[in-house]
Amino acid sequence: MANFFSSRFGKDVWLTNHAVKSMEKREIDDATLEYVIEHGDIQHSDDSNLWVYCHIKGRDDNLLCAAVVKKESIVVKTVMINWELEDEA
């Protein structure tokens, strides 16, 4: 069973074990991750790899970012804090 369904992407969202451990270490709960996925800004790395990121009110370790693969479903590979947006070349 998927971790949740993304209305934004119209796909199930799955978390890797690494993403779950990253969330625990960084004190990011499921609801916060779901908010990032549903409302965050998007930067594409290529056709299927992207970063979804946003500021979360009340946290001082922003930007929160989910590194995801978008194919038949959304797979969250890891979740980061203090992420910095890089300019595209």
Q: Kindly list the domain boundaries of the chain, sorted by start residue.
A: 4-80
- In this structure, whether the domain defined by 4-80 belongs to CATH 3.10.620 is answered with no
Q: Look at the pTM and tell me if it is higher than 0.75.
A: yes
Categorize the per-residue pLDDT at 1 as very low, low, confident or very high, splitting at 50, 70 and 90: low
User: What does the pLDDT look like over 7-56, one tens digit per residue?
Assistant: 999 999 999 999 999 999 999 999 999 999 999 999 999 999 999 999 99
Would the pLDDT of 88 be above 60?
no
Q: What is the pLDDT of residue 2?
A: 75
Q: What is the pLDDT of residue 85?
A: 84
Cα pseudo-dihedral 17, 22, 28, 30, rounded to 10: -10
